[in-house]
Structure 1
Amino acid sequence: MKQILLILLVLGLAVPAMATDYVGSDKCFTCHAEQYNQWQASGHPWKIRSSEKARFSKLPLPPGYSWDDISYVIGGATKKVRYIDKQGYIITSAKDGSEAKTQYNLEDGSWSFYHKGEKKPYKCGPCHMTNYSPEGHQYGMKGMIGTWAEDGIGCEECHGPGGDHLKRPSKATIKVDLSAESCGKCHQRGGMGPEPPAKGGFVRHHEQINELKAGVHKNLACIDCHNPHERAILAKDNCAKCHPGIAKSHAKERHGRQGTRCIDCHMPKASKSAISVTSYTGDVRTHLFKIDPAADAEMFKEIEEKGKKSSVAKGFVTVEYACLSCHASRDKAWAAEKAKKFHRK
């Protein structure tokens, strides 16, 4: 990336400068080392990385490509990896132009097609970058739509520009927004409405705010369960704080004695980002929480807007997702009957 920047400067091409008040996440380390280290281990700074940083991660590359052909890597923290070429376009075919799977899936080491053969510009900046602007092209790369101050989701994307705070450290000079909507501006699809878009029998990915608004916990904030600086999988696991009676009964049941957690049934992997393990198991936990145990309950419904049909999730999880992801040899009727016996006081 340094070589690219040097060439651009020599040629006189526009290079997006760090916004005046944006200082970069590394400046936060001096006073906030604990939070900085937690953030570094989370998925936020991994939304996009330069090839200079990513080449040491030992990730496999699409057919025919070397690291010298790559400008950026998208993702790589938990689910999937995509690659951006030197012109700023997402790679969708082999280097020689032939058909190829170009999305690498971390969970099982498989490859998937991604917009096969298309010329795909990178326009994910609003939720993958810090201080994103839709104007221009980062480092003059035509496939990169927009410019930004820092790769990935840095401290200042949530806390605002840190220039004043660096000069005058106090709560008055930094933004702290603990609302669900603060996270929801990116963890949503098609707005923050209570109808999570679905596809192929799964809720589509990055829709946590949609699910939250659709479910029984619509008044909760994300921080009630999550430390915003840590990885999402390190949730507080504090369901018993609000549900002491249910937690007590669960501890006495067979599943509780075997170590099954609340989230295993109430937050099954009914959402999909990269792969689906089974017909009822994706790779992202849902935030709907409520389970409808009825044998005839349907988790999804079809809608039509402007003549276009699509699928959305209702405000609950059904037993095929809550139960059959583990009890794969059983059927929905069996699961519905068993579900009647749970959480009896």
Structure 2
Amino acid sequence: MSGIAHRLAERHVGQAGCALHASSGVQSSPIGHGPPAGVARQAGVIVGVILAVLLIAPTPARTDPSYVGTAVCTNCHDDAGQGWTGSDHAKAWTLPSETTVLGDFSGVTYEHGGQVTRFLRDGGTYLIETEGPDGERRAYEVVGVAGVDPLQQYLLSPEPGRVQVYDIAWDVEARRWYPVFPGPPPPPKDGFDWSGSYKSWDGRCAECHATDYSRNYDPASDSYAPRMAEIGVGCEACHGPGSDHVAWARRSDGTMTVANSAEMGLTIDLDAPPQAEIMQCLTCHSRREAMGDGNPVPGTPYHDAFSMALLREGLYHPDGTILDEVFEGGSFLQSRMHAKGVRCSTCHEPHSATLRAEGNAVCTQCHSPAGNPDFPSLALKVYDGPEHHFHPGGGEGAQCVSCHMTRRTYMGIDTRRDHSFRVPRPDLAATGSPDACTDCHQDRDAAWAAAELARRFPDSTRRGPHYASIFAAARRNPQAASRELLDLAEWRDGPAIVRATALELLGAVPDIASARRVMRLLPDADPMVRAAAAGTLRSLPAPDRLIVLQPLLTDPVRSVREAAAKALLDVRLPPGSPQARNLADARAEWEDALNLRADFPETHLQMGGAALQSRDFTAALDAFERAVALDPQLVDAWMMVIRLHAAMNDPDAAEAALGRALSANPGNVNLLALQQGG
């Protein structure tokens, strides 16, 4: 793993990263997104009030359908509204008030790693006193509240046009302040400081805490001018803009007739086959890279709006269970439940965001002697009993989730469960994958657990080869595992995210025979597989690559078109031909997506790499310079800046860049080695 990858992985950041992970259930990854600027205390309470009003200002007039707000929806949908009020979705983002702020702002101080934070009030204004981006200590007004359970974070504005997530959070149950990230606090100017680019609420969190959000980032001023229909995840965040539906309801004169979603004025039919609902939930409940600014209109096909993160090292264990904060989507797509048609609302009540039942009763809706007629392939037998789980009733070991939904803790106290619903596989422990049995039986080892399961379930069909073994080997040496990876990619009945991951791990086809196998996957039914297949063919000569990837440049799914464009970065065609136009159009889509993410240091690493591939050294230098401006601790990007200056015959600029790099990263061995090497 490169130095850049280590930095992003170890510091809990990814392309979709989110600075906050309370039970508001956001997308992104372990760090944040959000709106308008509050203001530092010294700028004055009046300005803070004005900005708080701007925070919830309605979006400017737009063509129909338009957003009408949750209050309008609940005029008719009272039961849904009552369930939603007080839910994690409703409280995903609120303005500070006596009822929304749960933390102790009585003037208490909290010290962590030499960083002293004071939490206080000035009348109705909540303040956090800490070091700002300039290293000076001052009190910042709390301009927003994120989440409600099990932790709550507070939003500050170090400067106009920028809202940040402060990373000393409130533990709701224990009623204490604590650091979200346990390591030493980064210094001011560090990308991981609370005021740094990775802790941007506007850019990394807000879209999954608001309805109809767009961040409107301005690279020139490095600031945001966000717009949204409302803060919090309201009705229209899932059901789509409501103006046409309200008009339809008014025309009905109270005599509602059965109609499809389009006739009712809705942009999405959540009662349709499960995939529509699942992918709508996954717009926030998955680790992904966005192609647009903010929330796509509900009903927009997922893969036209996002590229889902595959089962990558650092994000998932080799068996596909959650490792980093990837949310539920990627694991659920691997599950047999997903394959059989289970949808999110089978287990979760969508308005209250609570489970359909308590404890094992959620599972025994289907897994019981009675079964469930919606899923006829179920085995009809007792699952919630000692003959299945071999543990005393009522204890932790008797809970279905203990064995089938391993858990990890994020942000110090936020426990989340894997949603791939796996049969325990302690026999895969050698791959580095988690073992549900020894998670509880910590005095035993995986070999004991595997033997116990073999004894208790001698006829189980849930043992034997598993992709965990292939992925674990391929992470060490992908080319040595190329045959197994290709076999896995051709697993037609397998989860698409697994098949696409096999192709991504392959990296590049090693020979013509492998290339032919990958080419047969280019028309695959799933866009993740098509997109990943395009990437593996980049080792083909440019003319051959263009021939085989040309159909993907006009694929109906945007994520596939972008993948083909990236795989053809080095191809140049004379203008005017249909082939050239298709390539230019697909490249333009990808470049538009990158430009909309210009507030992410990671984006500029992609831009720099693409420019190098196109041998545009000036553009590459600009991209890497922007990356280190946003995150001065990206040493690998600094190394590229220095080397590019040297390659462009500007030794003075290279030396100056080395000085800047060392100033931001004193004592870094790679930079010192570069300095000593001249």
Tell me the TM-score normalized by structure 2: 0.40
Question: Is 1:274 matched up with 2:406?
Answer: no
More relative contact order, 1 or 2 (CA 8 Å, 6+ apart): 1
Which residue in the other structure is 2:79 paired with?
34
Give the residue type in structure 2 aligned to 1:131: D
Tell me which moved more, 179-188 or 203-212: 203-212
Q: Deviations over 1:187-220 (max 9, x none)?
A: 1113435526645975223521100122333323
Question: Is 1:176 matched up with 2:269?
Answer: yes
Secondary structure of 1:164's aligned partner: helix
Query: 1: CA distance between counterparts of 2:60 and 2:382?
Result: 50
Which residue in the other structure is 2:287 paired with?
189
Map residues 80-229 of structure 1 onto 2, 5 A cutoff: 80-86=151-157, 87=159, 88-92=162-166, 102-106=168-172, 108=174, 109=176, 111-114=178-181, 115-119=192-196, 120-122=199-201, 123=203, 124-135=205-216, 146-169=226-249, 171=261, 172-174=264-266, 175-177=268-270, 178-190=276-288, 191-192=307-308, 194-195=310-311, 198=314, 203-219=323-339, 220-229=342-351
C-alpha deviation, 1:158, in angstroms? 0.6
C-alpha deviation, 1:52, in angstroms? 2.6
Give the residue type in structure 2 aligned to 1:80: L
Q: Would the alpha carbon gap of residues 296 and 8 (structure 1) be closer, same or farther in structure 2, given more than 3 Å must change?
A: closer
Which residue in the other structure is 2:421 paired with?
289
Query: 2: CA distance between counterparts of 1:205 and 1:234?
Result: 24
Counterpart among 119, 132, 145 of residue 65 in structure 1: 119
Query: 2: CA distance between counterparts of 1:14 and 1:112?
Result: 27
Query: 2: CA distance between counterparts of 1:286 and 1:163?
Result: 37
Q: Deviations over 1:203-242 (max 9, x none)?
A: 2235211001223333232223222223244464334133
Q: Would the alpha carbon gap of residues 8 and 214 (structure 1) be closer, same or farther in structure 2, given more than 3 Å must change?
A: closer
8 A Cα contact 1:195 1:214, kept in partner: no
8 A Cα contact 1:74 1:81, kept in partner: yes
Tell me which moved more, 27-36 or 225-234: 225-234
Which residue in the other structure is 2:498 paired with?
none
8 A Cα contact 2:68 2:241, kept in partner: yes
C-alpha deviation, 1:160, in angstroms? 0.8
Q: Would the alpha carbon gap of residues 91 and 287 (structure 1) be closer, same or farther in structure 2, given more than 3 Å must change?
A: closer
Larger Rg: 2
Where do 5+ consecutive residues of structure 1 fail to align? 93-100, 277-281, 301-316
Tell me which moved more, 245-254 or 118-127: 245-254
8 A Cα contact 1:50 1:72, kept in partner: yes
Secondary structure of 1:297's aligned partner: helix
Query: 2: CA distance between counterparts of 1:205 and 1:149?
Result: 28
Query: 2: CA distance between counterparts of 1:9 and 1:330?
Result: 55
Which residue in the other structure is 2:440 paired with?
326
Map residues 231-310 of structure 1 onto 2, 5 A cutoff: 231-234=353-356, 236-237=362-363, 238-240=365-367, 241=371, 242-245=378-381, 247=383, 253-255=389-391, 257-258=393-394, 260-269=398-407, 271-275=408-412, 283-298=415-430
Give the residue type in structure 2 aligned to 1:104: W
Query: 1: CA distance between counterparts of 2:411 and 2:49?
Result: 36
8 A Cα contact 1:41 1:231, kept in partner: no
8 A Cα contact 1:187 1:209, kept in partner: yes
8 A Cα contact 1:82 1:103, kept in partner: yes
Which residue in the other structure is 1:335 paired with?
449
Query: 2: CA distance between counterparts of 1:47 and 1:197?
Result: 29
Q: Deviations over 1:105-157 (max 9, x none)?
A: 445545115534543432212222100113169xxxx8656321111111101
Aligned residues: 306
Counterpart among 63, 69, 75 of residue 24 in structure 1: 69
**Identical positions, percent:** 23
Query: 2: CA distance between counterparts of 1:284 and 1:333?
Result: 26
8 A Cα contact 1:43 1:231, kept in partner: yes
Secondary structure of 2:337's aligned partner: coil
Query: 2: CA distance between counterparts of 1:255 and 1:343?
Result: 15
- CA root-mean-square deviation: 3.7
Q: Would the alpha carbon gap of residues 188 and 14 (structure 1) be closer, same or farther in structure 2, given more than 3 Å must change?
A: closer
Give the residue type in structure 1 aligned to 2:279: E
Query: 2: CA distance between counterparts of 1:163 and 1:23?
Result: 6
Query: 1: CA distance between counterparts of 2:55 and 2:82?
Result: 33
Which residue in the other structure is 1:98 paired with?
none
Secondary structure of 1:84's aligned partner: strand
Tell me the TM-score normalized by structure 1: 0.73
C-alpha deviation, 1:45, in angstroms? 1.8
Q: Would the alpha carbon gap of residues 112 and 4 (structure 1) be closer, same or farther in structure 2, given more than 3 Å must change?
A: same
C-alpha deviation, 1:176, in angstroms? 2.9
8 A Cα contact 1:129 1:154, kept in partner: yes
Query: 1: CA distance between counterparts of 2:366 and 2:47?
Result: 49
Q: Would the alpha carbon gap of residues 148 and 341 (structure 1) be closer, same or farther in structure 2, given more than 3 Å must change?
A: farther
Query: 2: CA distance between counterparts of 1:110 and 1:343?
Result: 46
8 A Cα contact 2:152 2:169, kept in partner: yes
Q: Would the alpha carbon gap of residues 53 and 157 (structure 1) be closer, same or farther in structure 2, given more than 3 Å must change?
A: farther
C-alpha deviation, 1:163, in angstroms? 1.8
C-alpha deviation, 1:296, in angstroms? 4.3
C-alpha deviation, 1:285, in angstroms? 1.0
Which residue in the other structure is 1:311 paired with?
none
8 A Cα contact 1:39 1:230, kept in partner: yes
